[in-house]
Amino acid sequence: MKSCTVFAVQAQGADIMTIEGVANADGTLSALQEGFRMMHGLQCGFCTPGMILRAQRLLKENPNPTEAEIRMGISGNFCRCTGYQNIVRAIQYAAAKINGVEFQEAAE
């Protein structure tokens, strides 16, 4: 959900999760936050909250997405720094971690 396309009143009664609430209860980074850091999924960080929350929803609905599904899933979010390669990898990293499997990076 993009906050810029929703009136506050439309969210009445809803549970709202923002980037500030994504970290684990003990304060450590969530799998997605960690993935973005490990895979250099950000430069300036401006698009990161949207990317992480979008990815969180994506992984909830599809815990094991293909690269194409990830790219389609985040297609409504723009990164103007560098591109989407590392963002995709960050989400793949998080999916693997959540699923308890080893993250396999595509051959370079």
Partner 1 sequence: MNDMTPTREQREAKLEGMGCKRKRVEDIRFTQGKGNYVDDLKLPGMLHGDFVRSPHAHARVKSINGDEALKVPGVLAVITAETLKTVNLAWMPTLAGDVQMVAGRRQGRVPEPGSRLRGRVPTAMPPTTASTRWWWNMSRCRS
Nearest-angstrom CA–CA distance, 29 and 27:
7
| In the block, residue with structure tokens 């080893």 | 102
Please report whether residue 20 would count as binding partner 1 according to CB under 8 A: yes
Please report whether residue 87 would count as binding partner 1 according to CB under 8 A: no
How far is C-alpha 95 from the geometric centre of its chain's CA atoms?
10
Contact, 70 vs 85, CB < 8 A? no
Please report whether residue 93 would count as binding partner 1 according to CB under 8 A: no
The most distant pair of C-alpha atoms in the chain lies apart, rounded to whole Å, by 47
What is the smallest separation between the CB atom of 20 and partner 1, expressed in angstroms?
A: 4
Q: Select the residue interacting with partner 1 from 23, 72, 81, 101 (CB under 8 A).
A: 23
Please report whether residue 88 would count as binding partner 1 according to CB under 8 A: no
Nearest-angstrom CA–CA distance, 87 and 93:
10
* Residue span 52-81 as binding mask against partner 1, x where in contact by CB under 8 A, dash where not: x-----------------------------
* Residue span 30-49 as binding mask against partner 1, x where in contact by CB under 8 A, dash where not: ---x--xxx-x-x-xxx-xx
Nearest-angstrom CA–CA distance, 94 and 97:
5
Give the binding site for partner 1 (CB under 8 A): 18-20, 22-23, 29, 33, 36-38, 40, 42, 44-46, 48-49, 52
